[in-house]
Chain A
Amino acid sequence: MRVVLPAKLIDEIRRHGEASYPEECCGFLVARESPSETDGLRRIVRITPMENRMEGARGRRFIIPPEELRSFETSLDGTDETLVGFYHSHPDHPAVPSLFDQEHAWPWYTYLVLAVEDGRAGELGAFELGAEDRRFTPVPWSVEREVRPAR
């Protein structure tokens, strides 16, 4: 599914990636849609930076524990917002998912991967896991210049 983000959110992700370097950063992507709606376009309306809870090795791994995911999802209950994906950074590695990413990924979610080279944010890639073959494919993403007013 095509992904659209306001420039402001891309900046936030880039800043998070640079601030976390040489460790990986991670966070949630939130859209305003119901999971069953699939109009082929996913508008990210906000991000929530999360703490990388991986014990050790945070330079090459991140983890968001299930209880944090569960409580975040619960916090969205009854709103029109949905958790639709995750972003994380690859310090000194390209913005492509690793085998490890693929092994631990879920279909339907949007995965944004940010390369951070020598402490500077670089390329950003968007990926989705195939429900059948469990392989990542890149999905097109673009910048939404106008930030839609919050409802």
Chain B
Amino acid sequence: MGKGGSNIGRPTPVLSPMSKVQVRVPAPLRSFTGGAPVTEAEGATVGEVIRHLVEEHQALEKHLYGTGGELRNFVTVYLNDEDVRHLKREATPVRTGDVVSIVPAIAGGAPAEVVRPAGRPTPEVGLSADEEDLGLPLTADQLRRYSRHLLLPEVGVKGQRRLRTAKVLLVGAGGLASPAALYLAASGIGEIGLVDFDKVEASNLQRQVMYGTKDVGRPKLEAARDRLSDLNPDVVVRTYDHRLSSENALDTLRPYDVILDGTDNFPTRYLVNDASVLLGKPNVYGSIYRFEGQASVFDARRGPCYRCLYPEPPPPGLVPSCAEGGVLGILPGLVGTIQATETVKLLLGIGEPLIGRLLLFDAMSLRFRELRLRKNPDCVICGTHPTQTGLIDYPAFCGISPETTTEAPGHAPEISPEALAARLAGEDPPMLIDVRNPPEWEIVRIPGATLIPLPELPQRVTELARAREVVLYCHSGRRSAQGTQLLLELGFTHVSSLTGGIDAWAQKVDPTMARY
């Protein structure tokens, strides 16, 4: 430990008088203080007394202080007969003749913060673990298939049987769910549920490795079922062909042991969080954007939930989706496999789960960082006095009006691709503004358009002629609707947004145009 004092802070010059007090040292630490149960130290406060004691006997430091320089959780200090936590803690003043006692609280526990594995009744519900139903013994095929798991003492036959009884729900069957579902199926999870309502598109294949080129155009759930069943025929794949909503979320999540959040939008993310909290299930979270990823395990029974981290969603449009900002195709592979890893650890009850920790990953620097998350006692859903006891209207909560759930926020005037094509071909064509980002502009653009990325629009509004009609377009119509709203607020009157964006234009007006 060297000079030791660096991370506990040198006592600052004290103006208050120093008192000489007796310090009772617990048996384990006496060998560091000369063997006597009671020693003497000086200081004006309890904290100073202990710091002086540690300066004199530096070997004490690592037993009394954590790495952050704070007294360890499990060190309790008494001033005479009073726990200083009930006084002024370390700032409690001392007087000559007082006795300061250092008392350890003794704690410990099993090797992991166990989520009682699947099928295993939790002690809280009063069932004995004898009732754990691990099903039939592993078959000869299963012994061969899972042999590399069985060789791990942390998994073993019992762990593998637990995985076989486990049920995991993946919300979203996209970039994060692809690697997660593949590895979970390969690991021998008994039942995998998938919630999605999309079809496989060519632009998915850059990262959604569960699908192949032959799957383009097929419903994702159908393609996923084929792929997962081929990978491991033992796995039961359940599919939910709907958008997760406040009406169906509780019923959808209820049968599962662990929820894996692979969603790409805020309303669903809050919905998954709240439903998991209400049902008392761990929610393995991951998110990705461009080159950065995040992961955590939200389990409100043992730590913070997503709302403790983000009580309110960002204003709509502030955080672009991957469809707008792009994403490195490998990134969901990394984050999704972290989610799968945490899921398997939770089910087996091994290791240190990512509870209360937010893992941040940056592919550019290839660095992982970790933030400590604390449970928010005022959290509306998992706090001490929760005010929200059911599910709410999540699109509204996230500032998205129900009739335009994933598309335009607000009610911007729109123009259809066909109508725009006619207007552009006619006399007095409107001014056409592309509000996408420059990389998108490089891929494809509508002839005659001017590029003004949405973030620059407020500053560059002077480039637009107020008297002339203005049409904004983006990729899908969402950003251009926002831009249209902005221009309306700034006093423009003849402004509209291209319905469905350039993607709709490519389908309805110009089939030769590349889509992305």
Q: Residues of A with Cβ closer than 8 Å to B?
A: 21-24, 26, 35-36, 54, 56-67, 69-70, 73, 82-84, 86, 88, 90-94, 96-101, 104-109, 111, 113, 118-119, 131-132, 134
Contacts and interface: CB of A to CB of B under 8 A. Distances in A.
15 contacts: A24-B110, A35-B27, A59-B123, A64-B107, A66-B104, A69-B104, A70-B103, A93-B114, A105-B108, A106-B104, A107-B28, A107-B63, A113-B108, A118-B130, A119-B129
Q: Does more than half of chain A's interface fall in helix, strand or loop, or is it mixed?
A: loop
A96 to B, nearest CB: 7
Nearest to B127: A22
B108 A97 contact: yes
A111 B30 contact: no
Contacts of B135: none
A131 B302 contact: no
B163 to A, nearest CB: 15
Q: Does more than half of chain B's interface fall in helix, strand or loop, or is it mixed?
A: mixed
Given A59-B116, A106-B28, A119-B128, A93 B107 contact: no
B130 A36 contact: no
A5 to B, nearest CB: 19
Contacts of B301: 56
B129 A118 contact: yes
Contact of A92 (B83, B129, B153, B352): B129
B83 A67 contact: yes
B74 interface: yes
Contacts of A57: 109, 113, 302
A22 to B, nearest CB: 5
B83 A56 contact: no
A83 B27 contact: yes
B10 to A, nearest CB: 23
Nearest to B352: A99
A23 B123 contact: yes
Nearest to A24: B109
Contacts of B108: 24, 26, 61-62, 86, 88, 97-98, 100-101, 104-105, 111, 113
A106 B68 CA distance: 18
A60 B114 contact: yes
Given A60-B114, A106-B29, A107-B28, 18 more contacts: A21-B128, A21-B129, A35-B31, A59-B116, A59-B123, A61-B107, A61-B110, A65-B105, A88-B108, A92-B129, A93-B114, A98-B108, A98-B109, A98-B112, A104-B74, A106-B106, A108-B28, A118-B130
B171 to A, nearest CB: 27
Contacts of A36: 30-31, 35
Interface in B91-118: 101, 103-114, 116
B123 A134 contact: no
Interface in B226-246: none
